[in-house]
C-alpha cells in the first residue's frame, strides 16, 4: 500500500515555511477539504507543488543536460509561475525568498580553489566566485515582478552585495538594473559598470563606471580590497534601440565569463561572431529568449552555456519564458553543453583539459 507521507526534507521545508507542524508532530490546522475555499485550495496546491519541486531540485542538482526528474521539477515551476497571479501568491514568495536565502548562506561560506562556482538569482542575475574575485551580473531585488511581497529583503540584498566585488549592469530595464543595489555597491567602494544611459538623472551617475563599448578593446578594471584587476571587453550590444552591454570578463585565473544582458538586435551580428575570436569563452550567461541564441553560443565559442531570464513575473505570461521553452530552443541548435538552473541554485565549473 502506498503512503502519502512527505519526505523528511520536504517536511522540514514545509515546517520551516510554517506549512506543517514540525516533523513528527500533528499536521496542524490543515483543512480536510477546500470545497468552499478556491483560494485556499490553489495556495495549498502551490505549497505542495513547490515543496515537491524543492525536493527534486535538491536531489538532482544542476549539471550539463537534465534528468527527467529535474525537468519535471522545472516544469512544476513553469506551471505555477505562468499563473497570472503567481508573484502575489504567498507560497511563491516564500519559495523564492527561501531559495535566495539559501544561496546567500552558501555564498557566505563557499571558498573556491579551482574554476568558478556560480549561483543563479533573479531573473538574469548571477553571482560567480573564483579563487580571487566574486562577480555580480544584473543583480536586483526582483522589484521587476511588480509585487512588493516578492521583493528580496533589504538585509538579504545588503549581505549579497557584501559578498561581491563588482556589479555589471547590462542595461536600464528594471529586471536588470536596480538603483538600490547599485547604491549599495558604490557605498561599499565597489565598482558598478553600466551603459552611460543607465541612471543618467541620478546624483550617483558620475560614480558609475562607463567602459568603452567597443569590439577588440580589452579594458582593465581595478578592484578594491587588494583584489587582482579584471580584463573586460564590452561589446556594443542592444535590446532593440536600448544600449545593452554584453560583457566578456577575464579573471586573474584566466577564466572568461560572458553575460549577454537582453541582447536581441540582429544588426549586432558582426561582433557577436567575434566574441570568442581570441579564445574560447568558459561560461556564457545568455538571455534564454534571445533570437540570436545559436549565434551567441557559436560566436562566443562557449564551453558551458547557462541560460537566464526565465520566468520573469513582471512580463506578460507569453513572455515569461518557461524552462521547457529553453529546453526546446536549445534542442533546436547544434549540441551544446547547457546547464539549466533556477532561482538560488549553484553550479561549479572547471575547465576540462583538452585531449592532446
Chain residues that interact with Zn ion, rule: CB under 5 A: 175, 262
Nearer to Zn ion, 165 or 175 (CB): 175
Q: Write down the least CB distance from residue 27 to Zn ion, Å.
A: 41
Q: Write down the least CB distance from residue 198 to Zn ion, Å.
A: 13
Nearer to Zn ion, 150 or 349 (CB): 150
Collect all residues with Cβ–Cβ distance below 8 Å to 268 and sequence separation of at least 6: 235, 236, 237, 238, 292
Q: Write down the least CB distance from residue 120 to Zn ion, Å.
A: 14
For 88, 128, 232, 267, the CA distances from 84, given in Å and listed in that order, are 9, 31, 39, 34
Nearer to Zn ion, 299 or 308 (CB): 308
Nearer to Zn ion, 95 or 122 (CB): 122
At which residue does the C-alpha cell 568558459 appear? 282
Q: Write down the least CB distance from residue 344 to Zn ion, Å.
A: 19
Q: What is the dihedral of CA 318, 321, 326, 332, to 10 degrees?
A: 30
Nearer to Zn ion, 289 or 349 (CB): 289
C-alpha grid cell, residue 226: 587588494
Nearer to Zn ion, 262 or 292 (CB): 262
Q: Write down the least CB distance from residue 181 to Zn ion, Å.
A: 15
Q: Write down the least CB distance from residue 315 to Zn ion, Å.
A: 8
List of E strands, the chain: 116-120, 126-129, 134-137, 166-168, 192-193, 219-221, 230-239, 242-250, 256-259, 281-287, 302-308, 346-349
Q: Write down the least CB distance from residue 214 to Zn ion, Å.
A: 23
What is the edge-to-edge ordering of all strands in the sheet holding 230-239?
A: 219-221, 230-239, 242-250, 256-259, 281-287, 302-308
Nearer to Zn ion, 19 or 323 (CB): 323
What is the edge-to-edge ordering of all strands in the sheet holding 192-193?
A: 192-193, 166-168, 134-137, 126-129, 116-120, 346-349
Identify the burial level of 110 via C-beta atoms within 10 angstroms of its C-beta, where 0-12 means exposed, 13-18 middle and 19 or more buried: middle
Amino acid at each position: 500500500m502506498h503512503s502519502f507521507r512527505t519526505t523528511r526534507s520536504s517536511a522540514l521545508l514545509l515546517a520551516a515555511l510554517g506549512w506543517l507542524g514540525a516533523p513528527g508532530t500533528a499536521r496542524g490546522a490543515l483543512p480536510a477539504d477546500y470545497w468552499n475555499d478556491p483560494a485556499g485550495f490553489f495556495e495549498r496546491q502551490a505549497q505542495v507543488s513547490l515543496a515537491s519541486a524543492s525536493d527534486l531540485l535538491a536531489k538532482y542538482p544542476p549539471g550539463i543536460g537534465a534528468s527527467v526528474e529535474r525537468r519535471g521539477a522545472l516544469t512544476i515551476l513553469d506551471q505555477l509561475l505562468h499563473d497570472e497571479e503567481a508573484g502575489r501568491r504567498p507560497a511563491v514568495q516564500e519559495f523564492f525568498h527561501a531559495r535566495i536565502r539559501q544561496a546567500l548562506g552558501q555564498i557566505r561560506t563557499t571558498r573556491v580553489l579551482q574554476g568558478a562556482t556560480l549561483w543563479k538569482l533573479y531573473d538574469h542575475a548571477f553571482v560567480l566566485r573564483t579563487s580571487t574575485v566574486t562577480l555580480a551580473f544584473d543583480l536586483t531585488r526582483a522589484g521587476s515582478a511588480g509585487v512588493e511581497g516578492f521583493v528580496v529583503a533589504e538585509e538579504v540584498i545588503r549581505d549579497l552585495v557584501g559578498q561581491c566585488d563588482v556589479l555589471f549592469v547590462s542595461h536600464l530595464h528594471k529586471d536588470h538594473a536596480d538603483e538600490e543595489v547599485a547604491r549599495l555597491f558604490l557605498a561599499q567602494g565597489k565598482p558598478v559598470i553600466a551603459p552611460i544611459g543607465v541612471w543618467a538623472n541620478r546624483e550617483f551617475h558620475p560614480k558609475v563606471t562607463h567602459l568603452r563599448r567597443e569590439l577588440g578593446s580589452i579594458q582593465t578594471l581595478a578592484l578594491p580590497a587588494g583584489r587582482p584587476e579584471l580584463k573586460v571587453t564590452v561589446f556594443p550590444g542592444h535590446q532593440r534601440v536600448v544600449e545593452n552591454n554584453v560583457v566578456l570578463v577575464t579573471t586573474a585565473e584566466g577564466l572568461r565569463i560572458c553575460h549577454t544582458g537582453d541582447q536581441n538586435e540582429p544588426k549586432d551580428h558582426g561582433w557577436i561572431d567575434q566574441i570568442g575570436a581570441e579564445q574560447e569563452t568558459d561560461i556564457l550567461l545568455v538571455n534564454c529568449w534571445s533570437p540570436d541564441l545559436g549565434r551567441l553560443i557559436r560566436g562566443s565559442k562557449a564551453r558551458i552555456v547557462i541560460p537566464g531570464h526565465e520566468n520573469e513575473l513582471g512580463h506578460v505570461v507569453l513572455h515569461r519564458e518557461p524552462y521547457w521553452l529553453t529546453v526546446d530552443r536549445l534542442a533546436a541548435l547544434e549540441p551544446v553543453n547547457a546547464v539549466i538552473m533556477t532561482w538560488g541554485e549553484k553550479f561549479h565549473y572547471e575547465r576540462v583539459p583538452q585531449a592532446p
